[in-house]
Chain A
Amino acid sequence: MTERSDETLLAAHLRGDPRAFGELVGRHERRVYGLCLRILGSREDAEDATQEAFLAALRKAASFRQAAAFSTWLYRIAVNAATDQARRRARARLAPLDPEDAAAAAAPGGDHGDAVATAVAVQAALAEVPQEFRVAVVLCDLYRVPYAEAAQILEIPVGTVKSRVFRGRLALAERLEGGGAQASGPSTLKVVGSAGTEELSRASEPKEADRPRQE
């Protein structure tokens, strides 16, 4: 028997199959949790947001339209749940990675000690990237979601996704390299236009502000 698609499972759920939705949760829980963790930076918040996301998906199941992939729809709900969670906590800055997650943060292979230290630093720096840029970076760079699909998830134009990813990476670089220790002169990097979570960024911003500071 071939595995049923997500969309088929959702349809089965709507027809009253009592196990179908649970199967969808099992398939996507790790990914949704990971998404929430990287957006929120705190395990506890990520667990809450994950639960909220699946409950919201359950409540909205009837409004799912086949026009989009189930995963796109679910990730949109997950991003919204994480954003809501961040707002609820009303944290200007998000908590760094919990210590017990440090080992889990590192990718396998390589010098483990260094990798853990770097992964912790990256996660901490990521948590400081303005949220809307961070969400774009998490989707596109960590989860390898294509730009076009990220645009659907975030409901913004694809050009805006690319721009946010770029700015997110730049903000991350600034936080990782901002000490100015390197000869390459990272102090010339200037991150501008960091929008608050509420603000919807425009596709185009003043050109002057977009340009790297002159040396």
Chain B
Amino acid sequence: MPEHPDREQLAAFQAGDGDRRQRARVEAHLAGCRSCAQVVAAVERARGRLTLLAEPELPAGLHDRLAAAVDAEAARPQPGRARRAWYRRPAAWGAAAAAVLLVALAVPLLQLDRGRDLATAGGGQAAQEAARPTAGGQLPVIALAGELDAERLRAALDANPVARLALERAKAGGEPAAPQADQGAGRAAAPETAAGTDAGGAAPPSTAAGAQAFTAGQQQDCLAAAAAQAGHELLPAFLVEGSYQGRPATVLVTATPGSPSQAEFWVFPRGDCSGRPLASGPLR
């Protein structure tokens, strides 16, 4: 018997995938290979056994418990609603946009090539990262090559003036300096009108490190998801792009209103904030 089919091939076979020729090949193999045939038969038996498990009844009292919990959550005063809807508040956008703008004004001199590994760059060498403050309510994006974890994020961001500045600005939040505040307000209107198209222009496809900024809408989703997880309002500071557990990821870094020393990161699959963060943790 030549090569055994691997697990993926057996799984595909059992799922009914593959064209006739592929299926015939696996079938022929199973006919002649006792060990593979046993694997498939055992898996079939397991599937049969699973049908013995009925859908469980709802335990007594759970319906009422859920109803009460949902009512209590829905009845919670402002914090809950305000948190979810922070991005609908002009003030929040103004502050965020002002922060972005300040960074935008601060970084042009650091025309940076993208995607270099900060860890190899050594501390404090800002010229090694990419930071691209973008228009229309977009947060600055910093690209880090390689696997992201909490330690690396901390080390990288401590050494990164762009990141530090963005974080400072996010923390300053409500009270941006006057001239920036004016222009910030002008920016604040942008996300509603230009979010979708603007993001495309602001983040050109890149083959290498591939820093793809989220659209403003996705940023809102990420922030909402992070805030829901945190249980309190968050101020967006900047985004980091890299990979997490082998998959492309975007990390949102936030400050917490009223806690100047606190900064947190929230890891999302790249471009997808529809779910809960994959991971999160304190940065400071």
Which residue of chain B has its CB nearest to the CB of A100? B59
A-B pair count, CB < 8 Å, reads: 188
B contact residues around A142 at 8 Å (CB):
50, 53, 55
Binary contact track A144-186/B, C-beta < 8 Å → 1, others 0: 0001000000010001001101110110111011000000111
Give the contact stretch, choosing among B5-13, B132-140, B193-201, B258-266: B5-13
Which residue of chain B has its CB nearest to the CB of A68? B274
A58 and B70 contact, CB distance less than 8 A: yes
Which residue of chain A has its CB nearest to the CB of B8? A163
Number of interface residues of A (CB under 8 A): 78
Query: How far does the Cβ of B18 sit from chain A's closest Cβ, in whole Å?
Result: 11
CB-CB under 8 A for A104 and B52, given A166-B10, A166-B43: no
A33 and B58 contact, CB distance less than 8 A: yes
Which residue of chain B has its CB nearest to the CB of A152? B274
Interface residues of B in 220-258 (CB under 8 A from A): 221, 224-225, 228, 245-247
B53 and A105 contact, CB distance less than 8 A: yes
Query: How far does the Cβ of A36 sit from chain B's closest Cβ, in whole Å?
Result: 10
CB-CB under 8 A for A60 and B35, given A33-B58, A159-B8, A167-B7: no
B284 located at the interface, meaning its Cβ lies under 8 Å from any Cβ of chain A in the complex:
no
CB-CB under 8 A for A50 and B66, given A43-B59, A184-B38: yes
Query: How far does the Cβ of B209 sit from chain A's closest Cβ, in whole Å?
Result: 21
- CA–CA, A177 to B17, complex, Å? 27
Binary contact track B1-39/A, C-beta < 8 Å → 1, others 0: 000101110111011010000000000000000111011
Query: How far does the Cβ of A27 sit from chain B's closest Cβ, in whole Å?
Result: 11
Most buried by B among A107, A141, A166: A166
B46 and A170 contact, CB distance less than 8 A: yes
B63 and A26 contact, CB distance less than 8 A: yes
B45 located at the interface, meaning its Cβ lies under 8 Å from any Cβ of chain A in the complex:
yes
A90 located at the interface, meaning its Cβ lies under 8 Å from any Cβ of chain B in the complex:
no
Number of interface residues of B (CB under 8 A): 58
Which of B14, B17, B41, B69 interacts with A51 by CB under 8 Å? Answer: B69
Which of B8, B49, B57, B274 interacts with A65 by CB under 8 Å? Answer: B274
- CA–CA, A124 to B95, complex, Å? 53
A contact residues around B15 at 8 Å (CB):
147, 162, 165-166
Residue contacts A-B, CB under 8 angstroms, 29 given: A26-B63, A33-B56, A33-B59, A47-B59, A56-B228, A59-B80, A63-B224, A63-B225, A76-B275, A104-B57, A105-B53, A118-B49, A119-B53, A122-B50, A163-B7, A163-B8, A166-B7, A166-B15, A169-B46, A170-B46, A174-B42, A176-B46, A184-B41, A186-B38, A189-B42, A200-B247, A207-B6, A212-B39, A215-B35
B residues apposed to A, CB below 8 Å? 4, 6-8, 10-12, 14-15, 17, 34-36, 38-39, 41-43, 45-47, 49-59, 62-63, 65-67, 69-71, 73-74, 80, 84-85, 221, 224-225, 228, 245-247, 269, 272-276
A residues apposed to B, CB below 8 Å? 18, 21-22, 25-26, 29-31, 33-34, 37-38, 43, 47, 50-51, 54-56, 58-60, 62-63, 65, 68, 73, 76-77, 80, 101, 104-108, 115, 118-119, 122-123, 126, 137, 141-142, 147, 155, 159, 162-163, 165-167, 169-170, 172-174, 176-177, 184-186, 188-189, 193, 199-200, 202, 204-205, 207, 210-215
Q: A73-B274, A177-B45 are in contact. List 10 more A-B contacts (CB 8 A).
A: A21-B70, A22-B70, A25-B70, A119-B52, A137-B50, A165-B11, A165-B15, A166-B15, A210-B7, A211-B6
Among all A-B residue pairs, the 5 with the closest Cβ atoms: A166-B11, A173-B42, A210-B6, A173-B46, A210-B7
